[in-house]
Chain A
Amino acid sequence: MKAVVLGVLLFLWPAFSGCARAAEEVGIDEKLGAVIPADLQLNDEAGQKVSLRQLIDKPTVLTLNYFRCAGICTPQLNDLVRTLNTVELEPGKDFQVITVSFDSRDTPDLAAGKRASYLKLLKRPFPPAAWRFLTGDEASTRELTKAVGFGFKRDKDAFIHPGALIILSPDGKVTRYMYGITYLPADLQMAVGEAAAGLPRPSISKALKFCFSYDPQGHKYVISFTRIAGSISLLMAAVFGVFILVTGRRRDHTERAHS
């Protein structure tokens, strides 16, 4: 009965209201086929101004991170390294990787350090020019993230942001999004192949991963709260179980006596 009422109510909603949308969205708002603003000025690892037009001349894997990230950025880039190690493509010739920091406080120095450490992780010959780490002022990086539909939000000192690879064609067109923080070499290979042909392709596996800030104080609270809740529920369960055993046995006896 109640279910029917509920069902009818639920069914009527679509008639009344459109889809509610948050003002500022964290996540990916796909911009397949859009061309990134190629004249944007960013800083390379030596602090020199460089425009994306100068860099993008082949299929490009774009990742958006910030370098002091304590969340998913490191696992994401580590998995990208794992993928790059096995992908059957030649870096620097078939494709390149560009990592842009969306945190304006990141410096070219920091970027250079990151680059060095990730290049060290790569187990195959990888021309340094095939993986760039760029930084920039807030206005330029915002323009870039907006153009590719990458929504993130500042949270105190950290950022809440999604994890994804964005594949660009040689002329800077967005052709594919690869969501999450783990990737398959074959997937990347296909994506790069399509980017080379300039064909935008809709995405799959849209389970986005998000990066949250870490709050040590709150964390402590979690554990004590859990402990309390856990011990109480265990206690209750035990009491209830004993109770059932006791009353149940008595009932059994009377039943047997009667039948």
Chain B
Amino acid sequence: MSMAAVAAHAEPSFLDAGERKGLLAWVLSTDHKRIAILYLTAMLIFFLVGVTMGILMRLEQLTMGETIMKAQTYNALFTLHGVIMIFLFVIPGLPASFGNFFLPILIGAKDVAFPRLNLLSWYFFMTGAVLAVTSLFTGGGPPDTGWTFYAPYSIRTGTNVSLAVFAAFILGLSSILTGLNFVTTIHRLRAPGMTWHRMPLFAWSLYATGWVQILATPIIGITLMLVIMERFFGIGVFDPAKGGDPVLYQHLFWIYSHPAVYIMILPAMGAITEIIPTFAHRTIFGYRFIAYSSVAIAALGSLVWAHHMFTSGISDMASLVFSLLTFLVAIPSAIKVFNWVATLYKGSIDLQPPMLYALSFIFLFCIGGLTGIMQGALAVNVHVHDTYFIVGHFHYVMFGGTGFGFFAALLYWFPKMFGKMYNRKVATLAWFPIFIGFNVFYFTMLVLGWEGMPRRYYNHLPQYHTLHVLATVGSWILVGGVLVLLGNFIVALLKGQQAPANPWGGISLEWTIPSPPTVENFEEVPTITQPPYHFNPVVHR
């Protein structure tokens, strides 16, 4: 593939090394870098499938009444869009791809702690993905419960919920194994001198994420298993006819699914924290605050699940307390944002494509976070519950946050991963339609929701028509930009220029090794003597 790299270094890159050739060399490899690329490829494909479904739903809303599909099709589409995007793209998103690739490199290790387990978790991921997709075409038709699989409807419906739930279970297992691997890796495989406080902040965020994956995912595992048991054996725990309480299902579901939001966003924050100092040429401001705030977000985030249930009949007292806790989570998030901004302040900012997307992340995440706090306030929550406001909010967090973080990380690390440089002008140009289209699309959704447009419905009333058309046009602009961005990467892979070892002037460990890295990552195990992001002569702490 890259002969120049072979010539320049004694060892071949991980892309060329190994005895096996072709596909087998990938699907049997325990090299964390190859597994990362397996994940990346699979996830980008699922992402595009999810995008297609989103576009179809927007087309349906272009006119009033039935435009291109029936209401039942629309129901199935939004369920699938949610399941595919959340379970197959956003949750595994950054940890499985960039985490797998860069966590060992960032801490000076040659691989993760359990390489074979790592490969196994990819197979679980693919199995889960295949089952999820299979559930669409088999059994009683695609699941129509929404991605939350709320009981008791999910135990009654004749659609293929069992298989979809089982798929989610397998995907959870894959997520647990990844988290377990990362936590052990960070504990055991740090290079000499790589103390906790010299660890790059991306590794910190993966550490916090790993713990959430380990401690919260089993709860959803057992809950989903109970739904399956309920469907086949009728054990009754979520069935009101037998004394079961569906509200408990919601509790258990959100015990996992709210922390899952932090599984989604924390690694993206970590990646942003890597990108900002590199392009501001400045030490990150408040290293310890950012590191600990990751842990704080993970811990507090596990306690606020019930704010999803304000209208589900939980007690007033609990509503109040959960409401308060929700506000508390905003604090560590805000700490991060302030520290990023402080880092940018007086830095010499180099507006390369990764930085452009990273800055958009901060902006969009702030909107997402603020609209989230608005829902934390009880009175507002009831008003906007089940409207487009919710849809807009979580797209700001998940797409504007995790999605933009993902793009930024891809732009930042792509040259390192593949040894090829993409066309930076095109990447910058693609930013305009992506950013503008995004806001036209989702900000309109916020407005629609505020005016009372109910979510999940294939049709709308005349008073919402103009805004719906605007949102649909925004979706076209956005998707056009995304396609240009991704196409740019494919072109780079096929005939991009050889990327240098350190195209951005970064100083973390990954930039000290060749692009693409060799199988062993490091010729010699590095010894770390100073804190990360050590751009200034002034020693930070």
CB of A20 closer than 8 Å to a CB of B: yes
- A sample of 6 more A-B contacts (CB under 8 A), given A22-B241, A160-B240, is A3-B173, A10-B169, A21-B234, A22-B239, A25-B156, A207-B246
A-chain residues with CB within 8 Å of residue B313 when the two chains form the complex: 72, 181, 209
Q: Is B387 an interface residue (CB 8 A)?
A: yes
- For residue A180, CB closer than 8 A to chain B, the reply is yes
Query: Given contacts A10-B228, A13-B228, A21-B234, is CB(A186)–CB(B240) below 8 Å?
Result: no
A207-B75 CB under 8 A given contacts A22-B239, A182-B382: no
B146 touches A205 (CB 8 A): yes
Given the known interface contacts A190-B457, A204-B457, the answer about A182 and B234 at a Cβ–Cβ threshold of 8 Å is: no
A22 contacts B228, C-beta separation under 8 Å: no
Contact of B232 among A20, A151, A190 (CB under 8 A): A20
- For B228, the closest partner residue in chain A by CB is A10
Cα-based distance from A3 to B175 in the complex (angstroms)? 13
Nearest CB in chain B to that of A163: its residue: B313
Instruction: Known A20-B231, A160-B240; judge A207-B387 contact (CB<8 A).
Output: no
The CA-CA distance from A193 to B228 in the complex, in Å, is 38
Q: What's the nearest-Cβ distance from chain A to residue B353, in Å?
A: 40
Known: A180-B311, A187-B457. A207 touches B240 (CB 8 A): no
A-B contact pairs, 26 of them (CB 8 A): A3-B173, A7-B170, A13-B162, A13-B232, A14-B162, A17-B232, A20-B232, A22-B236, A22-B242, A24-B241, A25-B156, A26-B240, A72-B313, A181-B313, A190-B454, A190-B459, A193-B461, A201-B71, A202-B75, A202-B144, A204-B454, A205-B386, A205-B456, A207-B153, A210-B246, A212-B245
Whether A206 is near chain B, meaning CB under 8 Å from some CB there, is: yes
Interface pair B232/A19, CB less than 8 Å apart: yes
B311/A182 in contact, CB under 8 A: yes
Contact B150 A207 (CB under 8 A): yes
Question: How close is A90's CB to chain B, nearest CB, in angstroms?
Answer: 15
Docked-complex contact B153 and A185, CB < 8 angstroms:
no
Give the residues in chain B near A88, CB-CB below 8 Å: 463
A208 within 8 A of B: yes
Of B228, B233, B241, the contact of A25 (CB 8 Å cutoff):
B241
User: Which residues of the other chain, A, contact B219 by a CB distance below 8 angstroms?
Assistant: none
Whether the Cβ atoms of B245 and A10 lie closer than 8 Å is no
- B145–A206 contact, CB under 8 A? yes
Kindly state whether residue A153 has any CB partner on chain B within 8 Å: yes
Of the candidates B162, B234, B240, the one having the most CB atoms from chain A within 10 angstroms of its own CB is B240
B residues contacting A by CB (< 8 A) are: 71-72, 75, 139, 144-146, 148, 150, 152-153, 156-158, 162-163, 166, 169-170, 173, 225, 228, 230-234, 236, 239-242, 245-246, 250, 311-313, 382, 385-387, 452-454, 456-457, 459-461, 463-464
Q: Is the CB of B386 within 8 A of A185?
A: no
Q: Does A145 count as interface, using CB distance less than 8 angstroms?
A: no
Compute how far the CA of A22 lies from the CA of B72 in the bound complex, rounded to whole angstroms: 26
A20 touches B454 (CB 8 A): no
Within 8 A of B (CB), among A129-187: 151, 153, 160, 162, 180-182, 184-187
For chain A residues 39-77, which have a beta carbon within 8 Å of chain B? 72
Chain B residues near A206 (CB-CB < 8 A): 144-146, 150, 153, 157
Query: Which B residues touch A186, using CB under 8 A?
Result: 452-454, 460-461, 464
Q: CA separation between A11 and B228, bound complex, in Å?
A: 10
The CA of A169 and the CA of B72, in the complex, are separated in Å by: 20
A153 nearest CB across to chain B (Å):
6
* Chain A residues in 8 Å Cβ range of B246: 207-208, 210
Given the complex of chains A and B, what is the CA–CA distance between A27 and B244 in angstroms?
12
Residues on the A chain within 8 Å of B311, using CB: 180-182
Q: Are A26 and B241 in contact (CB under 8 A)?
A: yes
- A194 to B382, alpha carbons, bound, how many Å? 25
- Interface: A85 (CB within 8 A): no
Inside 8 A of A181's CB, which chain B residues have their CB?
A: 311, 313
Contacts of B156 in A (CB 8 A): 25, 27, 29
Residue of B nearest to A151 (CB): B241
Inter-subunit contact A10/B240 (CB<8 Å): no
Task: For the complex of A and B, list the 9 residue pairs with the smallest distance between their C-beta atoms, beginning with the closest.
Answer: A20-B234, A206-B153, A187-B454, A204-B456, A26-B241, A207-B150, A184-B454, A26-B240, A210-B240
Smallest Cβ distance from B391 to chain A, in angstroms?
Answer: 13
A160 to B386 Cα, complex, angstroms:
25
Nearest neighbor of A72 in chain B, beta-carbon distance: B313
